[in-house]
Amino acid sequence: MNHNGFQDSSRTDPSRTVNSTNPWLLVMMVDDSHSMSADWGGLEMSMSELVEMAINRTLYDMGLEYCLQETEVRDRIHLKVLVYRADGEVVDPMPNGSKATYHKAPGEDGWVQNYHDTMSYSHQSVSSEVPRWVILSPRGKTPMLEAFGQAREVVQQHVAEYPKSFPPMVLNISDGEPTDCGEPVNWDLISEVCDSIRSLGSDGAEPIICNVHLDARGRNEPTLYPAEPPILDNLESGLWHISSEVPRSLEEFLPAEVESGQGGRRRMFVYNSDLPTFSDFLEFCTSRTNRTKRSTPSFFARLIDTDEDESTIIDAEYTEEE
């Protein structure tokens, strides 16, 4: 345990690999509350629309790069998406959402081929057509505690069934505070659940919890992977405290914009994220092997007319093993 009481995920066992014998688990928690319908960054599109686009694009890339080999789908990545909204409503938006604790990659019910439809996302002169696994319809409140509780059940089952897999990752995407932890928010309730999630893995393979905070108002520049809470108020410090430390194996691949010199270990947390930062954070959190540099800017980089930071991420050996 580190000085904050969290289990240190930095000692990831390098012998653990991502393959069909020991598939990796990704749990995506997505805030779909009413506030997510706000316009994001002057793009005349809501946060929910842009988050939906980014998630589906990320899943599409993961399916192509890690699970698809010629015409065969390999079972290398397991997936669970938890959309939380309304008054305690936490749903799995996948077409087979009610049939599995988590979704394997291959088969008729596998997540790779089992999507709702194919949709062309466009804005101004930029368009992209991808399968649509996740459909968001923001409404109501932000039951984040309930979502973390369900994420724990998913991670617990996966760790029991695949004890030698690479550490599962829980990625939480939200624009605000939980509404099911009292008023003012009692962050200790969520911290207890997150500590419990991290405790499920064996030494060197503790699950990793990541948080990205979205802010439609753009109050400040994005704060990337801070080693201390960026702003000492209830929201920012709460999300920072529940985020895992950046694993040692990933530190050298942090974005170039991350400033050095902070004391302590950096956290898997981005505050006040804009669209390109959010897109980069998704890629950073979901990369499990070498990334080849893109010859053209990403869809989201072109959407906002900015250059994309091209980085290579390596955090687990990847094999073709079955």
Could you tell me which of 90, 72, 71 has the C-alpha nearest to residue 81? 90
**Averaged over 86-95, what is the pLDDT?**
93
**Averaged over 146-151, what is the pLDDT?**
98
Most confident of 71-85, 190-204, 279-293: 71-85
**Averaged over 88-98, what is the pLDDT?**
86
Helix count (H) and strand count (E) of the chain?
A: 7, 13
Check: CB of residue 144 under 8 Å from CB of residue 260. no
Q: Each residue of 119-142: pLDDT tens digit?
A: 886 655 666 688 999 999 999 999
Give the strands of the sheet with 208-214, arranged side by side: 89-91, 77-85, 24-31, 169-174, 208-214, 269-273, 223-224
* pLDDT > 70: percent of the chain: 75
Ordered alpha helix ranges (H), the chain: 47-62, 144-161, 187-198, 234-242, 248-251, 275-286, 299-303
Give, as one character, the DSSP assignment of residue 237. H
**What is the predicted pLDDT for the residue at 125?**
62
Domains and CATH numbers, the chain: 9-318 (3.40.50.410)
Residue 272 pLDDT grade (very low, low, confident, very high; cuts 50, 70, 90): confident
> Does the pLDDT of residue 28 top 80, yes or no?
yes
**Averaged over 160-165, what is the pLDDT?**
91
pTM above 0.75, yes or no: yes
d(CA 296, CA 71): 26
H or E element in which residue 170 lies: strand 169-174
- Number of residues that this document lists for the chain: 322
Give 293 or 121, the one with higher predicted confidence.
121
Q: Each residue of 182-212: pLDDT tens digit?
A: 998 999 999 999 999 999 987 778 999 999 9
Give, as one character, the DSSP assignment of residue 97. T
